[in-house]
Structure 1
């Protein structure tokens, strides 16, 4: 494995290196096609079911690489991170695998299913009423635990990019290479990893944000990071206040397009996934299909890859969404 990325820029080789490290350590999640969804979209859709990943989301990829590097170096007894939920659960599971302690900082309204996953993995769960990064800094100062940032950690970005790489390679092996790739955007780590994975392959990458949580779109337009006050959204995993600094350095000049979607479109995509793919995903993952359907309306792409990034969703929300209500 290459040395950990520090000052140098991330590149495609880092994603490939992360993929080699992850072999045998994570679930090789399936690529799924669906004629009914293809007909609805007017193009071929190939969906990557990362809701079936360890810890229930593709966040397990980045956490496994980042925590694994630390454990191999033998210089840490624990780790700390902040998250809306999935990254915390992934870091907690990765830390347990290596016998490290984990402290995870979550917002007061974090989804109970995600909190439960982190706690079940043995993490110390802290709730932050204010800035979660301040809580992380204090834990780091008190314990010395390295910070596994959800967006601004190079190993996390490279690891997240392996989901896109697997999808790209599976589509090529099936004789249906992608010419577009759609990934949800919160802090931007997954999108940055996807851009790196797609480099030089002639694939247009789209990042999907809920309306009112559009830090990436505003940042791309301004040429620098622009924070937002996140609006209420079904997609709880896609509401950071600002795209990460490291992801934005990757995304700024990548040609990625930002696509906005509303809760109605996310809920509709959720129902399509349950009905036609027989999968349960969280709204943050369903946002990718919502974005792909919107992209398909105004493009001529032949084959669009869609990253269904997670499946940690509350049972009562599943019922409400299937009934057509998200209230």
Structure 2
């Protein structure tokens, strides 16, 4: 099970590899939110998302003899790229199983990082697990799960260590930390880091409407699933349910979940570009959307939020920019 010791060990292994992303702010965003907003732009991380942290953490923790056989991952794109880059850095093969409806940019980037991409028919109901089991059996690959994997959670938790340290430098010791949430790897990792390093802060998962399984699970106290397994514009954080490992951590440590609309996510993308000069993808912008447009659900005079990824197709980014008021 992931804990703060594993997160600190992952931070040591990631030193000199993962980028230490900044905490950004804008008076214009503060005005919209009605409080101070601090933004952790993991879209500036290698491969354009926080997923490199978990990918590198997991691959670097493998026994070298096991690692050289190669790694396998399932992903709609961001975990794919994180694992692909980590595998390339260690000079080992990577096979990534991706849905055929994943954004074209994410599929292309994963291949460009040297991974073998195997597409499966997600809309048609094909099982990625069955495809993966066959490949594992044939090639002896080690599966690196996207969120329900202790070393992946530990890697994502390094983002929480940075948030605690950077917030303390700004004199912030109490705040809701809003985290873009799919299966809960980043949320649970950050929650564990904050418990140890910034106990005055609490992590809160943020999800898009229609895919609010974590928010509903936290309310009911048990794992809830989504009615649909794909669709919507927030592909990066569309998962069927929170993880078996991540949910108990979130249940113990997180505040209530927040749910935003796709329109709010698009507006947050546009404002991140306009005011912070960073590019967010829809799923990576939901935490900022909650900070800006759901202030009545947030406590305290400062809120911290992640932008978890920036791997967005041109057409989708143009759609986001169209939500801006004409100058």
Q: TM-score range by the shorter chain?
A: over 0.9
Instruction: Give yes or no for contact 1:161–1:197 (8 Å, CA) kept in 2.
Output: yes
Could you give the per-residue CA deviations for residues 60-118 of structure 1, whole angstroms, max 9, x where no partner exists? Answer: 00000101112545554100010111000110110011111001011111011111111
- Greater CA deviation, 15-24 or 271-280? 15-24
Q: Are 1:195 and 2:191 an aligned pair? A: yes
- Greater CA deviation, 265-274 or 230-239? 230-239
Shift of the alpha carbon at 1:324? 2.8
Match among 132, 135, 140 for residue 136 of structure 2: 140
Q: How is 1:1-327 mapped onto 2 (pairs within 5 angstroms)?
A: 9-70=1-62, 72=64, 74-129=66-121, 130-200=126-196, 201-228=199-226, 229-230=228-229, 232-324=231-323
Counterpart Cα distance in 1 of 2:171 and 2:220: 39
Instruction: Give yes or no for contact 1:171–1:178 (8 Å, CA) kept in 2.
Output: no
- Greater CA deviation, 124-133 or 146-155? 124-133
Could you give the per-residue CA deviations for residues 226-258 of structure 1, whole angstroms, max 9, x where no partner exists? Answer: 221246322111111111111112112224311
- The normalised TM-score by structure 1 is 0.92
CA 1:260–1:71: 2 relative to 1, 3 Å: same
Q: Which runs of 5+ in 1 are unaligned?
A: 1-8
RMSD across aligned positions (CA):
1.6
Counterpart Cα distance in 2 of 1:300 and 1:189: 24
- The normalised TM-score by structure 2 is 0.92
Q: How many residues align?
A: 317
CA 1:299–1:122: 2 relative to 1, 3 Å: closer
Counterpart Cα distance in 2 of 1:287 and 1:60: 20
CA 1:141–1:222: 2 relative to 1, 3 Å: farther
Instruction: Give yes or no for contact 2:204–2:254 (8 Å, CA) kept in 1.
Output: no
Shift of the alpha carbon at 1:178? 4.3
Shift of the alpha carbon at 1:295? 4.4
Could you give the per-residue CA deviations for residues 292-321 of structure 1, whole angstroms, max 9, x where no partner exists? Answer: 224422334122111111111111211122
Q: Which runs of 5+ in 2 are unaligned?
A: none
